[in-house]
Chains A and B, each alone.
Chain A
């Protein structure tokens, strides 16, 4: 199917991925060396390996794998969330013949041919966080509910802004939105959930065009400050942790007029929780990455040993952290990066 040059490029990509893995993932390499002594080797490929979300997932998955005696080979491009960087990694790992593959696909379709290759070699494939469009080859999928998370964010923001009292048809509440990427499925789903909830319940909210930050907090800050200077903004919805950091920063530096602006956003990073405690953020939608990691390892173990029940789709609820419940919940749900 592929031209020769394409294969060469892909070969080079695989080689560089392997080289990178030797340097950056010393832990992962050591795990491969130990493979013989363990019962099962499970390949686990995430989107962007150094995102605190995936780091937290790694903590949950690793602890469970250790408990069950599973050898985990953790891989993923360090920072780029894209199928172009993920495909060579998944392809390379086929060569180590893992007992199972856990995959957080960076594209709903692009990884499917590779998944079929794993299935052909009788290696079961699992999805975590994001999922393949065609689930017929997937044994089990554990994910957060991004659509519901977007809706929850809209509700939290409306309540923080005092929607019933402060937002009217004559003077609508203007909301600025920050996203990391408009092509990532999770961002798109959250935005869709948010927009649907606003359209259904909050007609007096006017949402501005989303700022695209490419996961750079400072770019988000700059964009939010533009929105703040151009409009009388009442609220901000930040679609992930990097945008939420950027939003908190914009509020902090934009002067006294910005003090009344309410911020709601995704991801319980240590920094965003501190911002919420300092009163810059009204609510944080927290996912449960560590639990996603643990649950998918349990599903893998059940499949490999034939013990226990496997449900095809597990959707974990989002946790809404607020200053009121933070003392009780924040320590549990903060993304643990170490």
Chain B
């Protein structure tokens, strides 16, 4: 299945480029095209309403970007390692609910606002870690395929979020929301923290040995095992990481909605996967650039928000997003097709 060539090998074998090929090479540089698309879409929105390039809208965009980017990064890690994690959305829901109970309890027992929120953050990450561990055990011990294993935890998380919360939003914490809306210029403290985590995740994926193992396993798990990599341990750690990132996203949603709502995050795994696909990451594993998913999340955020901004009925949202996914997928197949023909 996974006979994915490395980009380096294919470019070494490239014949003298014809003009058509050269265009295809540009098209193959998906990051560049995505960047142009992003700028183009933003100019389009500003053309309709010049408030778009304003600090208040850019603050909004960054908040929404930070809600989506960590699970997209999680999905990137999992997919490049050759798996998939469908449970990130419902992990957000269950962790935001459990975290909200923890914060509510602590604040009710005279803990200060800040320590309660800090503990809540660890609780959210911990709940995510538990879900990730269940995924890891189902995949590496019970030998389920990742799609099925994470489908199990997807349903479980969605159900448990409703059971735990009894349907309504848990807690009511406007102080947390007020804190999360402080910062400077277009940055809020919360978005800065998330951006920091994102940068670290990108560096780890592309610079560290952990990241190299990830790509190696995604390209060819048998070769990776032969090369002495403990594939099971690495795969397990990737799912735990994914769970923890989804749990932290649950805490972001807590901040952004003053409480733990069991509906929050439901279905967001598909948005994360869409961002990964738009970012040019191969769904069979082993290939992808972190900057691609950053652009993918940015484009999805700008499109989602911008359509509301210019007062287009939100029912069109998904249709437009589908168009972007199709565009990205076609670019990807064109570029890989041009390699295969050589």
A residues neighboring B (CB under 8 Å): 24, 49-52, 55, 78-79, 182, 208-212, 214-218, 221-223, 225-231, 242, 245-246, 248-249, 252-255, 257, 269-271, 274-275, 278, 335, 337-338
A182 touches B159 (CB 8 A): no
Contact A222 B168 (CB under 8 A): no
Q: Which residues of A contact B256 (CB under 8 A)?
A: 218, 221, 249, 253
> Could you tell me if A226 and B180 are in contact, using CB atoms closer than 8 angstroms?
no
CA distance A211 to B56 in the complex (A): 19
CB-based contact B266/A216 at 8 Å: yes
Report how far A49 CA is from B174 CA in the complex, Å.
27
Cβ contact within 8 Å between B257 and A338: no
> A226 — nearest CB in chain B belongs to which residue?
B308
**Which residues on B sit within 8 Å (CB–CB) of A257?**
56
The answer, among B51, B57, B177, B304, for a CB contact under 8 Å with A253, is B177
The 8 closest A-B pairs by CB, nearest first: A50-B167, A226-B308, A253-B181, A229-B57, A230-B309, A212-B314, A216-B263, A218-B257
Contact A229 to B51, CB < 8 A, known contacts A216-B261, A217-B263: yes
Q: Are B263 and A79 in contact (CB under 8 A)?
A: yes
Give chain B residues whose Cβ lies under 8 Å from the Cβ of A55.
166-168
Query: Hey, which chain B residues are within 8 Å of A24, CB to CB?
Result: 159, 163
B158 touches A79 (CB 8 A): yes
Contact: A337 with B172, CB < 8 Å? no
Query: Do the beta carbons of B314 and A242 come within 8 Å of each other?
Result: no
| Interface residues of A, dominant DSSP | helix
Residues of A within 8 A of B308 (CB): 211, 223, 226-227, 230
- Expressed in whole angstroms, the Cα–Cα distance for A335 and B167 within the complex equals 12
A225–B168 alpha-carbon span in the complex (Å): 22
Which residues of A lie under 8 Å from residue B60 when comparing CB positions? Answer: 222, 225-226, 229
Cβ < 8 Å to A, chain B residues 279-311: 304-306, 308-311
Residue of chain A at shortest CB distance from B316: A209
Residues of A within 8 A of B112 (CB): none
Q: How far is the CA of A269 from the CA of B263 in the complex (A)?
A: 15
A sample of 20 more A-B contacts (CB under 8 A), given A214-B267, A222-B63, A337-B167, is: A209-B311, A209-B314, A210-B313, A210-B314, A216-B263, A216-B264, A217-B261, A217-B264, A221-B256, A225-B63, A226-B57, A226-B305, A226-B306, A245-B258, A245-B259, A249-B256, A252-B181, A271-B169, A275-B174, A278-B174
Size bracket of the B interface: 35 or more
In the complex, A226→B159 CA distance in Å? Answer: 31
Considering the complex, give the chain B residue whose CB is closest to the CB of A220. Answer: B257
Question: Is A271 touching B49 in the complex (CB atoms < 8 A)?
Answer: no
Q: Are A252's CB and B178's CB within 8 A?
A: yes
A91 to chain B, nearest CB (A): 22
CA distance A209 to B315 in the complex (A): 10
A49 to B165, CA, bound (A): 13
Which chain A residue shows the least CB distance to B45?
A230
Q: In the assembly, what is the distance between CA of A49 and CA of B168, in Å?
A: 11
On chain A, the residues within 8 Å of B257 by CB distance are: 217-218, 221, 245-246, 249
- B314 and chain A: residue at smallest CB distance: A212
Encoded as 1 (CB less than 8 Å from any A CB) or 0, chain B from 49 to 71 comes to 10110101100100110010000
Is A337's CB under 8 angstroms from B253's CB?
A: no
Check B174 against A212 for contact (C-beta < 8 Å).
no
- Residue from A24, A49, A215, A271 whose CB has the most chain B CB atoms within 10 Å: A271
> Is B261's CB under 8 angstroms from A208's CB?
no
Which of A227, A248, A249, A257 counts the most chain B CB atoms within 10 A? A249
Task: Tell me if A209 and B64 are in contact (CB < 8 A).
Answer: no
Q: Which of A255, A274, A275 contacts B56 (CB 8 A)?
A: A255
Chain B residues near A216: list those with CB within 8 A: 261, 263-264, 266
A209–B263 touching, CB < 8 Å: no
Interface residues of B in 300-342 (CB under 8 A from A): 304-306, 308-315
Contact among A182, A229, A249 for B315, CB-based, below 8 A = A182
Query: When chains A and B are docked, how far (Å) is the Cα of A229 from the Cα of B308?
Result: 10
CB atoms of B168 and A218 under 8 A apart: no
Report B-chain residues with C-beta under 8 Å of the C-beta of A225. 60, 63
Contact call B166/A338, Cβ cutoff below 8 A: yes
The interface residues of chain B lying within 8 Å CB-to-CB of A255 are 56, 181
B269 to chain A, nearest CB (A): 14
Complex Cα spacing A211 to B264, Å:
16
Chain A residues, Cβ within 8 Å of B309: 226-227, 229-230
In the complex, which residues of chain B have a beta carbon less than 8 angstroms from the beta carbon of A248?
A: 258
Q: Which residues of A contact B159 (CB under 8 A)?
A: 24, 78
Interface contact A252-B162, CB-CB below 8 Å: no
Known: A229-B57, A230-B310. A50 touches B172 (CB 8 A): no
